[in-house]
Amino acid sequence: MARFFVKHTLFLLLTLFVVSFLVFTLNEFSPGAVARKLLGAYATQDQVDTLTKQMGLDRPLLVRYVDYLGTVATGDLGYSQRFKLPVKDVIWKHLRHTALLAAIAFACIVPLSMLLGVTAGMREGSRLDRAILMFSTIVASIPEFALGVFLASVFVAWLGWLPGTATLLAGGGWSVPAQLVLPVAVIVLFDSGYVVSMIRASMVEVMQRPYIRTAVLKGLPFRSVILRHAVRNAMLTPITVIMLQINYLVAGVVVVETVFAYPGFGRMMLEAALFKDIALVEAGALVAVFLAVVTNILGDIAYVLLDPRIRA
Amino acid sequence: MSTPATAEVLSASPPAAARVRARARWRRRLDALLASTPATVGLAIVLAWVVLGILAPVVAPYPPNANDLGALARPTPSTAHWLGTDQLGRDLLSRILWGARPVLVIAPLAVLGAAALGSLLGLSAGYHGRWISLVITRACDIVLSFPVIILYMIILAHFGSSAWNIIGVLTLTKAPIIARIVRGMTLDLREREYVAAAKMRGESALYIMFVEILPNARGPLLVDMCLRTGYNIVIIGVLGFLGIGLPPPDPDWGGMVKDTYGMMTVWPHMSLFPCAAISSLVVGFNLLAVGLREIGLRD
């Protein structure tokens, strides 16, 4: 287990290094870029050069990168030009909002896709299986923004039951829970389509194993064959896939956040990238990669805990 | 799986007979494909969009960027504009038909790029082993661990978005996935007799990788490329929707939704029709992939 942690921590550090270096180079390769961004389009070249020298941006790229790493290591992530706040505060605030959205969505995705995936996979080729497979294929095929538009046109434009935006502000007469319904619904539909097909495939494979036939032949009720013997084994492969969804939920929900004007991490990154808010882009990329790699590791740990053969 | 390379070398039949046999093999595959309902439906949807995209200059009733200012007062579907017009009075049907073209060129090109780069990486990693394998798999892991959408935002916001830049980022981010698949298959295939035979003949490593190993890995690769094309179409749409996709004014399905979804409560048709277009095309590719996988399992 110690080896496992050392190996994964090293990979995490390596990934963070590579990513931070690439993003840093991309943003700050040309020496004048940062000062130009800070001063705006109307500053003279003289002013840009002076600020570049003052900030030490005329030093070689590698020197500046090491300097940057040093500052980040002390916990100072810089100042966001777009939000006029320290980067740490901006990221923390948006990450909290996304975590709320992701947590509710995750709490729906896991039971729903387990139910559908196990039901479909326990009798391969049955009419129910075909129906669930078709449903999950189609739902996972529709881009999130299209799903958002479809749902919003029914529940917002036509029926008027729900609000079309989820700004988390109390204004507009809609409560926060009502605002969250549509974004969560889009994420759950889109994401569970994929997870369902994974669980189904794994379940189909498990149902062909000899121990399932033994359990059926010794007269166990079908229900307990499924619940006691099949499900636990069928969840082994999908558990890593499920853990990977956390990664998607944190960083990939930018589309859903944009559709519903939700003040989350993904939309913050989009704004930062479009506004060329360099400090925020650099710090945000690090946070996103950190979360991605950590959920990956958690997925591996969950796999080990579920499968005693690996643990031993 | 059969080993056509060795079979052909051993039988050394005249070219005509080989051609007849090849045709019969394709015939069999097509029959198998059409026997599967999802594959047939998927193929029909994809082909319909390809034909509509190619014929767009002929079948589209209006030029894609022409404004009909008279229609602005009532942009909803009518006899003059079957699907209505958008917020600038441009005919939606024409824009959707023309919008099929960039998607159907960029997505497959990016898949081909990713397949080429991914196969090269995967074959090298699987065939050579040791440190080449280690470097390649680690590099792929790093790209894969990065949330891609954030990568797209950073790169495209920095370099500006054009068709070539989109093809570039899609190729770079999809190649590691293909490399992983190809590496797995190479590890298995390199132990086969025909690889040993080729080594004995003194063939170069490149020849063995691309002529002996890659053709025998094509089954799963084809299914994956079909899926990837669907995903790429989604991503092109998403990029357009986020405002970092193909530049206006030429029609792009995602961009059309971005420009109009704010008016959804008043004129839902403006964003609904482009959404339906992109969804149907992706569903088509994914159904085709489901069908291809079924055939693969039956072989």
pLDDT one-digit tens code per residue, A165-213? 877 776 667 778 888 889 999 999 988 888 898 899 888 888 888 888 8
Q: What is the DSSP letter of B158?
A: H
Please measure the distance between the N-terminal and C-terminal CA atoms of chain A and give it in whole angstroms.
Answer: 10
Interface predicted TM-score (ipTM): 0.82
Q: What is the CA radius of gyration of chain B?
A: 23
Q: Which residues of B201-224 are buried (b: 16+ CB within 10 A; e: fewer)?
A: eeeeeeebbeebbbebbebebbbb
With tokens 């051993």, the residue in question is B10
Distance from the Cα of A289 to chain B's closest Cα (Å) equals 5
What's the CA gap between A280 and A80, in Å, rounded? Answer: 6
Angle between helices A127-141 and A176-207 (to 10 degrees): 130
**Does A288 contact B147 at a Cβ distance shorter than 8 Å?**
yes
Nearest to B242 among A152, A248, A270 (CB): A270
Residue B132's pLDDT is what? 86
Nearest to B241 among A251, A255, A269 (CB): A255
| Strands A85-86 and A79-80, bridge-based pairing | antiparallel
Distance from the Cα of B9 to chain A's closest Cα (Å) equals 37
Residue B109's pLDDT is what? 94
Residue B1's pLDDT is what? 42
**Does B147 contact A164 at a Cβ distance shorter than 8 Å?**
no
What's the CA gap between B132 and B126, in Å, rounded? Answer: 9
Nearest to A285 among B154, B244, B264 (CB): B154
Nearest chain A residue to B290, by CA: A137
pLDDT of residue B186 exceeding 70: yes
| Side-chain half-sphere CA neighbours of B72 within 13 A | 8
What's the CA gap between B239 and B233, in Å, rounded? Answer: 10
Average pLDDT of chain A is 83
**Does A255 contact B238 at a Cβ distance shorter than 8 Å?**
yes
The answer to whether the Cα torsion of A239, A244, A250, A255 is positive or negative is: negative
In the predicted model, what is the mean pLDDT of residues A60-65?
A: 80
In the predicted model, what is the mean pLDDT of residues B188-206?
A: 87
pLDDT tier for residue A116 given thresholds of 50, 70 and 90? very high
Q: Does B267 touch chain A (CB under 8 A)?
A: no
**Does B268 contact A150 at a Cβ distance shorter than 8 Å?**
no
Q: What is the DSSP letter of B247?
A: P
State the burial class of residue B250 (Cβ atoms within 10 Å of its Cβ: 0-12, 13-18, 19+): middle
What's the CA gap between A258 and A279, in Å, rounded? Answer: 22
**Does B150 contact A153 at a Cβ distance shorter than 8 Å?**
no
pLDDT of residue A12 exceeding 70: yes
pLDDT of residue B13 exceeding 70: no
Nearest chain A residue to B38, by CA: A134
**Does B142 contact A18 at a Cβ distance shorter than 8 Å?**
yes
Q: Which amino acid is at B17?
A: A
**Does B154 contact A26 at a Cβ distance shorter than 8 Å?**
yes
Q: Does B261 touch chain A (CB under 8 A)?
A: yes
CB pairs under 8 A between A and B: 135
The structure tokens listed for B130 are 């040791």
Q: pLDDT tens for residues B104-113?
A: 999 999 999 9
pLDDT tier for residue A108 given thresholds of 50, 70 and 90? very high
pLDDT of residue B159 exceeding 80: yes
* Length of chain B in terms of residues written: 299
- For B41, B43, B50, B60, B71, the CA distances from B54, given in Å and listed in that order, are 20, 16, 6, 11, 27
Residue B262's pLDDT is what? 82
What's the CA gap between B299 and B295, in Å, rounded? Answer: 6
pLDDT of residue A121 exceeding 50: yes
What's the CA gap between A95 and B251, in Å, rounded? Answer: 34
Residue B4's pLDDT is what? 52
In the predicted model, what is the mean pLDDT of residues B238-254?
A: 87
Distance from the Cα of A68 to chain B's closest Cα (Å) equals 19
Distance from the Cα of A147 to chain B's closest Cα (Å) equals 8
Average pLDDT of chain B is 84
Residues of A in contact with B285 (CB under 8 A): 141
The structure tokens listed for B83 are 């699907």
Tell me the H-state helices in chain A: 2-28, 33-39, 45-54, 61-73, 87-122, 127-141, 144-152, 176-207, 210-217, 222-224, 231-234, 236-251, 254-259, 265-275, 278-306, 308-311
Nearest to A141 among B153, B268, B283 (CB): B283
Interface probe, candidates A12, A25, A141, chain B, greatest B C-beta count within 10 A: A141
pLDDT tier for residue B297 given thresholds of 50, 70 and 90? low
What's the CA gap between A19 and A127, in Å, rounded? Answer: 47
Distance from the Cα of B73 to chain A's closest Cα (Å) equals 20
**Does B242 contact A259 at a Cβ distance shorter than 8 Å?**
no
Residue A251's pLDDT is what? 67
Q: pLDDT tens for residues B264-275?
A: 888 888 889 999
pLDDT tier for residue A18 given thresholds of 50, 70 and 90? confident
Residue B2's pLDDT is what? 45
Nearest chain B residue to A159, by CA: B265
In the predicted model, what is the mean pLDDT of residues B170-198?
A: 88
Residue B45's pLDDT is what? 94
Q: Does B155 touch chain A (CB under 8 A)?
A: yes
What's the CA gap between A125 and A132, in Å, rounded? Answer: 11
In the predicted model, what is the mean pLDDT of residues B202-206?
A: 86
pLDDT of residue A250 exceeding 80: no
Q: pLDDT tens for residues A146-161?
A: 999 999 889 888 888 8
**Does A145 contact B238 at a Cβ distance shorter than 8 Å?**
yes
Q: pLDDT tens for residues B205-220?
A: 888 888 888 888 887 7
Nearest to A143 among B155, B238, B271 (CB): B238
Q: Which of B132, B118, B155, B134 is nearest to A22 (CA)?
A: B155
Residue A233's pLDDT is what? 82
**Does B150 contact A269 at a Cβ distance shorter than 8 Å?**
yes
Residues of B in contact with A27 (CB under 8 A): 158
Q: Under a CB-based contact definition with an 8 Å cutoff, are residues B39 and B293 in contact?
A: no
Q: Under a CB-based contact definition with an 8 Å cutoff, are residues A251 and A187 in contact?
A: no
pLDDT tier for residue A5 given thresholds of 50, 70 and 90? confident
In the predicted model, what is the mean pLDDT of residues A82-106?
A: 88
Q: Under a CB-based contact definition with an 8 Å cutoff, are residues B99 and B277 in contact?
A: yes
Nearest chain A residue to B148, by CA: A252
Q: Which of B235, B272, B285 is nearest to B96 (CA)?
A: B272
| Better-predicted residue by pLDDT, B50 or B220 | B50
- For A44, A158, B263, the CA distances from A51, given in Å and listed in that order, are 11, 55, 44
Contacts 24+ apart (CB under 8 A), B269-273: B269/B75, B269/B76, B269/B77, B269/B83, B269/B84, B269/B92, B270/B75, B270/B84, B270/B86, B270/B87, B270/B92, B271/A149, B271/A153, B272/A149, B272/A150, B272/A153, B273/B83, B273/B84, B273/B92, B273/B96
Q: What is the DSSP letter of A142?
A: S
Residue A301's pLDDT is what? 79
The answer to whether the Cα torsion of B268, B270, B274, B277 is positive or negative is: positive
Residue A170's pLDDT is what? 66
Chain B residues 100-139 with a CB less than 8 Å from chain A: 138
Nearest to A164 among B158, B264, B282 (CB): B264
Q: Does B230 touch chain A (CB under 8 A)?
A: yes
What's the CA gap between A285 and A265, in Å, rounded? Answer: 11
pLDDT of residue A245 exceeding 70: yes
